[in-house]
Amino acid sequence: MGANVGERLREVRKRRGLSQRELANESGVSLSLIRKLEQGEREDARLETVRRLAAALRVPTTQLVVASRAEDDVVDADAQWKPLRRALLTSSVVDTVDEPPTTAGVRQALDAAMPLFSGDRFVELSTILPSLLRDAEALVRSDPEGRAVRARILQLTGWLLTQMRQFDAAEAALERSMDESSDRLHSAATASITCWLLLRRGRLGEARDLASRWADEVEPRLSRATPAELSAWGWLLLRMSAAAVRDNRPGEAEDAIRLAHAAAVALGREYTPEGNFLQAFGPVTVALKRAENAMVVDRPDLVLKLAANVPVHGLRPTSNNRNRHLLDVANAHARTRQYAEAVDILAGLRATAPQWFPKQRYAQDIVSGILARRRTLTPEMRSLADAVGMPV
């Protein structure tokens, strides 16, 4: 969260007339962590930790957040994403190719790659996506169809790089996708992914403002809205709710998710516009986000209550919906000392999403919490700790 979060924390705590111990009791954050932050021994804290401190101090989370990023850009040690960043950020189009790419050919290649995106197959994507990007760049810029394909590839690249915490490159991809777009709903979807990027960087106010602006831009008349319009609007409202709840604005969060629910009711089912798994939306999606909000405000009991009525087994197991929700459910079980249930869910995620699961800091936090509370570790717990890179 930045080196000055401790200074802000100390200032606000003293204005509230609270001791460090009283703040620890109110927030549920350990006294030792509060002391380390205020004394500058720790320069970072997870966004969720800062949110809990801000809630106890009755201030927006953004009042404690100084730096612009919640998580630093991560450059993999094996430079896995360097070719993709190079293809995105440098001009690498070759003018004298024997067989220049065609719009139809690039579109077919993208269609073939879509299962890799929806299946979180990051290794394969890191190999094929640089070439796909270069081919997209080589398409004639005056061709509207070529621009649309290029905008779609850039949008997916931005989503993938956000997933991999390559935030600067992700932002560049999403900005270019927006520039290339001539379709209002594509632009709205790109704005939604950008909101997610801003959320991951801790830029809550920017995420809320962007989601609000675009939600106003695309708000449809429910009685005559198309499914694609409802999906685009609904997702922007969900992003607005996610930003507001993390910034300790529960009223705004509830208002936004209530409107998203209205869009989902008007839609009447889970809908995926033109096979775009990132924009799958409907009543179940809204229910998943209600559970996520409940976990953010530290209501594991409510998470489990809501999850009991969510038919997640009918959803495609993508990281964009079911997998993220199941992490919330696992966390709720762990927070209520139902460790066996939490471990079962985590083990299932590891089995079904083997490339996605090890890269989730949230999963690491859940496993860490389980290990800290258990005197005896089962083989499954040790295996999960290995999977998320934690020594035991």
The pLDDT tens digits of the residues spanning 138-154 come to: 887 768 888 999 999 99
pTM: 0.85
* Residue linked to tokens 């979807």: 189
Q: Are 156 and 277 in contact (CB under 8 A)?
A: no
> What's the pLDDT score for residue 75?
43
Report the 10 Å Cβ neighbour count for 21: 11
* Residue linked to tokens 């629910």: 261
Using a 10 angstrom Cβ sphere, with 0-12 exposed, 13-18 middle and 19 or more buried, the burial of residue 307 is: buried
| DSSP codes joined into one string, 147-161 | HHHHHHHHHHHHHHH
Report the 10 Å Cβ neighbour count for 107: 18
Note every long-range contact of 45-50, with CB atoms under 8 Å and residues 24 or more positions apart, other chains counting.
Answer: 45/1, 45/5, 46/1, 46/70, 46/361, 46/365, 47/1, 47/202, 47/246, 48/246, 48/296, 50/1, 50/5
Phi/psi region, residue 272 (left: phi>0; alpha: psi -120 to 50; beta: rest), is beta
Phi/psi region, residue 372 (left: phi>0; alpha: psi -120 to 50; beta: rest), is alpha
Residue pLDDT tens, the chain, 392 long? 444 788 889 989 998 889 999 999 999 889 999 999 998 888 767 777 888 898 999 888 878 875 433 344 444 445 789 999 988 887 544 444 456 788 998 999 999 899 999 999 998 999 889 989 988 988 877 688 889 999 999 999 999 999 999 999 999 999 999 999 989 999 999 999 999 999 999 999 999 999 999 999 999 999 899 999 999 999 999 999 999 999 999 999 999 999 999 999 999 999 988 778 889 999 999 999 999 999 999 999 999 999 999 876 666 767 778 899 999 999 999 999 999 999 999 999 999 999 999 989 899 999 998 998 887 888 999 899 999 987 65
> What's the pLDDT score for residue 73?
45
User: Residues of 321-338 as b/e, b for ≥16 C-beta within 10 angstroms?
Assistant: bbbbbbbbbbbbbbbeee
> What's the pLDDT score for residue 373?
86
Average pLDDT, the chain: 88
What letter represents residue 149's amino acid?
A: V
